[in-house]
């Protein structure tokens, strides 16, 4: 047995995983006394820091009492479930983190079910016991019931529970007794999580993650399953299609602290990075050169949504981005599928248009946001839900489990909004001073729902959802009630016309902003679309009239985040995304062509 513990940290989004990893890193004294560091050490890309979420799983190792603990920080959102599913294969145990007030949430159930299926040993950490209204004992019971319902074994149900606050940096076996630091958690990891076993035999390692370096190219990361990997050894790479390729290990590295350390050999049970191997994909097995044996491939849940990605062909194309051609778009999307396992790309009959399949709006929006920051210009269509057929030819659609916590006085409005979109209320119970609601709702009913719920509850609703199953089609769901306001011509918008048109609806643009013909500039108060001339100026005379020149008072424009805009557009609209702007537009910019297409559909 080696003194290694491989542990993944799983939790619902915002329950404090990355903060806990920070505290473990500090407790193990990786940093010197003189070194400065920020919070959320592992959330190292800008998007993760801005949104306060983990998108990509990370590896880090700490040493405590002569034991090396490899920690894998995982994302909490169900949209990034593909990340969680593959990295759990590297672990022997999991730290399940649960908020002392919120308890087990939908994503907790999702990631916990994967860990239990893999037979991993859990340690439960009830976090944030310093919060008001917290209910640690109830939450402990709730986690036990959840594990029992997910079919946990006797050994898994006999779990150790720690209570504490990652933010304040303490953990204890009894939540009423505050300790000095986080060491009770590290002691529990060494005591409860089984050591990584050394399995003898020919070497085997599955690639579960990848890294990239400008100096050595792509780096394969995974856990050595059996035998010993040696630097300079000739190996076989076993691909998904059954083919076997001869490869050579150039360098081996293991995770030490926040970085990697070069070694000459790695034994079974350790997580390592291998350089010098070309042409591998996630899920491939690096095996013995003479007698190669493949490990079973990682199975990932199917995508539930797709979106059309196409090149930007608006009148403003190429003004803000560096990468604008279909070749750029194709290469970038296929490069993403190498490391983002839950993403699929399908070519269409047009060379500049691709269908991209993902787990949800957030999953796809993170890809779009990353691309625009890299300098890409593109257009995307309305998100579409994926349907299936059963053996009798009936249409099935994805159903999601939706959980909403709202103040009691607005619960009625939320129930009304969700049931309008074919949601069924399954649970309604008080939770502290909030009302806890659970629904089963079609995935397509969720598109655009968050905005409406936040408006109805003055921003106080907390919404979470996860994919549940495919069920029979629930019938039509009403879409956006109001039509679009569309610009008639290109040019700068004048304050004078914007002021005069304010009774027509709400605008998404400011005076002086450049727009083009066919751009969606606002939301109409009525269900139909309306085309406006926004470039007209005031007729000037040489007479001055002090009374009749009233001051122009224009409402501030409505701001959209990328996800809001993706959920807002209709099926005859595109979202134009560039490094500096997000614009909505009609697919057909010319009004006559739009009318002709509308007639064809009728």
What is the secondary structure of 537-578 as a DSSP string? PPPP-S---TTTSPPP--PPPPP--HHHHHHH--TTEEEEE-
- What's the whole-number mean pLDDT along residues 28-57? 50
User: Is 176 assigned to a binding site?
Assistant: no
pLDDT of residue 208: 83
* CA distances in angstroms from 327 to 331, 336, 355, 548, listed in the order given: 6, 14, 15, 57
pLDDT over 50 (residue 439): yes
pLDDT of residue 251: 87
- pLDDT confidence tier of residue 32, bands split at 50, 70 and 90: very low
User: Is 474 assigned to a binding site?
Assistant: no
Question: Whole-model pTM?
Answer: 0.76
Fold type of domain 4-192? Rossmann fold (3.40.50)
- What's the whole-number mean pLDDT along residues 511-532? 89
pLDDT of residue 289: 83
- pLDDT confidence tier of residue 544, bands split at 50, 70 and 90: low
pLDDT over 70 (residue 117): yes
CB-based contacts of 474, cutoff 8 Å, min separation 6: 397, 422, 442
Highest mean pLDDT among 16-20, 47-51, 68-72, 478-482: 68-72
- pLDDT confidence tier of residue 355, bands split at 50, 70 and 90: very high
Domain boundaries, the chain: 4-192, 204-288, 388-472, 484-539+551-601
User: Is 331 assigned to a binding site?
Assistant: no
Task: Say whether 388-472 and 4-192 share the same fold.
Answer: no
pLDDT of residue 296: 82
pLDDT over 60 (residue 545): no
- What's the whole-number mean pLDDT along residues 36-49? 48
User: Is 44 assigned to a binding site?
Assistant: no
pLDDT of residue 1: 46
Nearest CA to 103 out of 54, 64, 142 is that of 142
User: Is 155 assigned to a binding site?
Assistant: no
Its CATH class, for the domain covering 484-539+551-601, is: mainly beta
- pLDDT confidence tier of residue 310, bands split at 50, 70 and 90: very high
Least-confidence region, from 83-87, 183-187, 235-239, 563-567: 83-87
User: Is 17 assigned to a binding site?
Assistant: yes
User: Is 18 assigned to a binding site?
Assistant: yes
pLDDT of residue 380: 92
The answer to whether domain 388-472 has CATH 3.30.70.240 is: yes
- What's the whole-number mean pLDDT along residues 260-280? 85
SS (H, E, C) 319-371: CCCCECCHHHHHHHHHHHHHHCCCCEEEECCCCCEEEEEECCHHHHHHHHHHH
pLDDT over 80 (residue 59): no
Q: In what order do the strands lie in the sheet with 67-73?
A: 58-64, 67-73, 4-11, 93-99, 121-127, 160-165, 170-172
pLDDT over 50 (residue 148): yes
User: Is 127 assigned to a binding site?
Assistant: yes
167: left (phi > 0), else alpha (psi -120 to 50), else beta?
alpha
CB-based contacts of 572, cutoff 8 Å, min separation 6: 586, 587, 588, 594, 597, 598
- What's the whole-number mean pLDDT along residues 249-256? 86
Its CATH class, for the domain covering 204-288, is: mainly beta
pLDDT of residue 21: 77
With both helix axes pointing from N to C terminus, report the angle between 411-420 and 449-456 in degrees, rounded to the nearest 10. 160
- What's the whole-number mean pLDDT along residues 328-340? 85
Tell me the chain's radius of gyration from C-alpha atoms.
Answer: 27
What whole-number distance in Å separates Cα of residue 439 and Cα of residue 428? 9
pLDDT over 60 (residue 201): yes
Q: Quick check: 501 and 524 in contact, CB under 8 A? A: no
pLDDT of residue 42: 46
Both tokens of 1, joined, read 């047995």
- pLDDT confidence tier of residue 576, bands split at 50, 70 and 90: very high
pLDDT of residue 43: 44
pLDDT digits 0-9 by tens, 160-177: 888 888 777 788 887 777
**Average pLDDT, rounded, for the chain:** 81
């Amino acid at each position: 047995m080696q003194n290694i513990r491989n542990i993944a940290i799983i939790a619902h989004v915002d329950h404090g995983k990355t903060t806990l990893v920070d505290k473990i890193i500090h407790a193990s004294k990786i940093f010197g006394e003189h070194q400065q560091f920020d919070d959320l050490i592992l959330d190292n890309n800008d998007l993760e820091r801005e949104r306060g979420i983990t998108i990509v799983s990370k590896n880090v190792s700490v040493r405590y009492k002569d034991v090396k603990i490899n920690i894998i920080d995982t994302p909490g959102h169900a949209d990034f479930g593909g990340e969680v599913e593959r990295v759990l294969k590297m672990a022997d145990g999991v730290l399940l983190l649960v908020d002392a007030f919120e308890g087990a949430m939908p994503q907790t159930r999702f990631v916990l079910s994967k860990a239990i299926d893999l037979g991993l040993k859990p340690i439960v950490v009830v976090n944030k016991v310093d919060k008001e209204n917290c209910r640690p004992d109830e939450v402990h019971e709730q986690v036990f019931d959840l594990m029992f319902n997910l079919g946990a074994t006797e050994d898994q149900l006999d779990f150790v529970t720690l209570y504490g606050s990652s933010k304040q940096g303490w953990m204890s076996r009894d939540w009423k007794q505050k300790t000095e630091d986080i060491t009770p958690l590290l002691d529990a990891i060494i005591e409860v999580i089984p050591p990584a076993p050394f399995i003898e035999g020919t070497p085997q390692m599955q690639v579960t993650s990848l890294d990239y370096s400008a100096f050595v190219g792509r780096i394969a990361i995974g856990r050595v399953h059996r035998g010993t990997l040696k630097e300079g050894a000739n190996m076989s790479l076993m691909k998904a299609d059954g083919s076997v390729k001869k490869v050579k290990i150039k360098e081996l590295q293991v995770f030490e602290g926040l970085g990697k350390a070069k070694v000459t050999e790695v034994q079974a049970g350790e997580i390592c990075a291998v350089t010098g191997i070309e042409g591998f994909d996630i899920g491939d097995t690096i095996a013995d050169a003479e007698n190669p044996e493949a490990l079973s491939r990682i199975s990932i849940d199917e995508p539930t949504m797709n979106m059309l990605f196409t090149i930007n062909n608006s009148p403003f194309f190429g003004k803000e981005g560096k990468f604008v051609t279909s070749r750029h778009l194709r290469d970038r999307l296929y490069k993403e599928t190498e490391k983002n396992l839950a993403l699929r790309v399908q070519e269409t009959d047009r060379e500049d248009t691709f269908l991209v399949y993902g787990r949800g709006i957030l999953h796809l929006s993170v890809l779009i946001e990353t691309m625009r920051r890299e300098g890409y210009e593109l257009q995307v269509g309305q998100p579409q839900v994926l349907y299936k057929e059963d053996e009798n030819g009936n249409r099935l659609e994805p159903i999601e489990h939706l959980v909403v916590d709202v103040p009691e006085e607005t619960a009625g409005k939320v129930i009304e909004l969700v049931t309008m979109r074919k949601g069924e209320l399954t649970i309604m119970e008080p939770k502290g001073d909030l009302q806890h609601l659970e629904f089963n709702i079609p995935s397509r009913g969720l598109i655009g729902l968050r905005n409406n719920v936040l408006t109805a509850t003055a921003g106080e609703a907390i919404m979470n959802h996860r994919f549940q199953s495919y069920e029979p089609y629930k019938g039509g769901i009403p879409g956006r009630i109001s039509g679009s306001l569309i610009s008639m011509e290109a040019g700068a918008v004048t304050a004078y016309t914007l002021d005069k048109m304010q009774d027509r609806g709400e605008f998404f643009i400011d005076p002086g902003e450049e727009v083009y013909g066919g751009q969606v500039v606002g939301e109409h108060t009525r269900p139909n679309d309306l085309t406006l001339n926004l470039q007209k100026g005031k007729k000037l005379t040489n007479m001055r009239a002090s009374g009749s020149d009233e001051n122009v008072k224009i409402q501030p424009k409505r701001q959209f985040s990328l996800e809001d805009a993706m959920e807002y557009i209709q099926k005859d609209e595109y979202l134009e995304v560039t490094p500096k702007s997000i614009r909505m537009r009609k697919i057909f910019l010319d009004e006559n062509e739009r009318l002709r297409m509308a007639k064809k559909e009728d």
